[in-house]
């Protein structure tokens, strides 16, 4: 049994990079590029909730942070 048996792994693409860059500009660079990629993948998959150990996603449009 591997980790892939329990999770679906979504890989980013060039198109996601373009959208992530626009998201980074929207938040004036206060969000890291990796976080912007996560936001764009969430949008693509209609995911609104995220569990995270940091507060980068707090107050972001369409994102609902879930406490651990």
18: number of CA atoms within 13 Å, CB side? 3
Residue with token string 């969000």: 31
Global pTM reads: 0.82
Residue 1 in this model has a pLDDT that exceeds 80:
no
What does the DSSP 8-state code read for residue 49? E
| Structure confidence by residue, pLDDT tens digits, 5-57 | 888 887 778 999 999 999 999 999 899 999 999 999 999 999 999 998 888 88
Beta strand 49-51 pairing with 64-66 = parallel
Answer for the pair 50, 42: CB distance below 8 angstroms, yes or no: yes
pLDDT at 19: 96
């Amino acid at each position: 049994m591997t980790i892939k048996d329990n999770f679906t792994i979504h890989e980013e693409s060039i198109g996601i990079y373009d959208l992530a860059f626009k998201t980074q500009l929207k938040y004036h660079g206060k969000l890291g590029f990796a976080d912007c990629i996560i936001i764009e993948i969430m949008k693509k998959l209609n995911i609104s909730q995220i569990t995270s150990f940091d507060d980068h996603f707090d107050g972001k449009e369409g994102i609902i942070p879930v406490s651990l």
